[in-house]
Amino acid sequence: MKLSKPIKLLTVATLLFVVVFATSKMPSLAEWYIKNIYPLLAAVLSFFSALFPFSLFDVFTILALIAFFTLIVLMLFKKIKCSKGLYIIAYSCLFLIAYFYFSWGFSYFRKDFYTRCNIQKSEYNAENFNSFVKDFIDDANSAHVDFNGIDKDEVNKKIEQQYKKLKDVLKIKYPNGKRNPKRMLYESLHTKIGVSGYFGPFFNEIHVNNFVMDFEYPFTLAHEKAHQFGVASEAECNLYAFIVCAASNDAQLRYSAYISTIGYVLNNYRRIYPDDYKTVLESIDSKIIDDIQNMSKRWTEARNQTLSNAHQVVYDTYLKTNKIHSGIKNYSEVVNLLISTYDIFIK
């Protein structure tokens, strides 16, 4: 019996929902997929996208929007039946959702860092936190280095070397394809909404905003590479980037690790111990404070608050939909991970 179009659409949507929902409830299944199937897809997609010097993800986004609005116009002017146009939109959305999850999105449902790496989660108490903050600030002060330019190609090579060196302890598949960063086609827009980098799953591409300051670049690049390795959590990607950069023999990478995460540490400390915050702040090298202030000022002046707020709402919803229950606050949860792993990977 031939099924009608609405029944076909409903059937496809139901099957997709069942697969995604089932995987979201079975971390072992998602873990198996990311370890065994995803590396093959990543290798193929990244090999293909590496043939192009520009971002295929950005081009695809533009073309998809053009196609969508063209279809709407054709429907409005009755050049195409509304029913046909709506079916095209519905099937296209289902295809994109399916492609997203099977190409990378199942990463959101895998086991957490502690389970994957067999590391005991430290209790987040006053003793542990204060001890960690003291060590972290002492090491940050020691790591400070003035940036007089940066060789981005060399940084990329060094971060790759670090990921290869640490692949066993970080439980990642290496090489897992190619990870050469690409420039954003609409950098100005991303700067206005405060995006320093992103991973494009459709073509397995890494993007870093050239607006970032030199000392931000290594950490940002390492963070996006962590996404490409199948790590979805923003907090975990921050941790991977910190470990990769802080454990490097390169002074610029080490400092990038600390300057890029010290803000999260200080914000947590100010929230928990507001009366002692000034004392802790005074223990930080004044040059680091200058870098923090310059970085904050640069991004604040460039940001369009309306666009930034809209982006945060959309991204927060997106993360929560994919089981990152804290939404955009997930970035700052790297502090919990650092407390549990600092003595293991850094000290």
Element at 200 (helix H, strand E): strand 197-200
Integer Cα distance of 158 and 192 in angstroms: 30
For the cut 70, the answer to whether the pLDDT of residue 2 exceeds it is no
Q: Write the pLDDT tens digit of every residue in 146-177.
A: 998 999 999 999 999 999 999 999 999 999 99
Q: Write the pLDDT tens digit of every residue in 191-207.
A: 999 999 999 999 999 99
| Residue type for position 11 | T
pTM for the predicted model, two decimal places? 0.96
Integer Cα distance of 347 and 337 in angstroms: 15
Across residues 10-15, what is the average pLDDT? 93
Minimum mean pLDDT among 103-107, 118-122, 161-165, 204-208: which range? 118-122
Bridge-based pairing state of the strands 197-200 and 205-208: antiparallel
For the cut 70, the answer to whether the pLDDT of residue 14 exceeds it is yes
Burial class (CB in 10 A: 0-12, 13-18, 19+), 43: middle
| pLDDT at residue number 208 | 98
The Cα angle at residue 189 between residues 153 and 299, in degrees rounded to 5: 70
Across residues 49-62, what is the average pLDDT? 96
Minimum mean pLDDT among 1-5, 76-80, 282-286, 326-330: which range? 1-5
For the cut 90, the answer to whether the pLDDT of residue 23 exceeds it is yes
Q: Write the pLDDT tens digit of every residue in 230-258.
A: 999 999 999 999 999 999 999 999 999 99
Integer Cα distance of 81 and 255 in angstroms: 59
| pLDDT at residue number 130 | 92
Q: Write the pLDDT tens digit of every residue in 301-333.
A: 999 999 999 999 999 999 999 999 999 999 999
Across residues 31-47, what is the average pLDDT? 97
For the cut 60, the answer to whether the pLDDT of residue 1 exceeds it is no
The Cα angle at residue 202 between residues 197 and 203, in degrees rounded to 5: 80
For the cut 90, the answer to whether the pLDDT of residue 8 exceeds it is no
Mean pLDDT of the chain: 95
Percent of the chain with pLDDT over 70: 99
Across residues 58-67, what is the average pLDDT? 96
| pLDDT at residue number 3 | 61
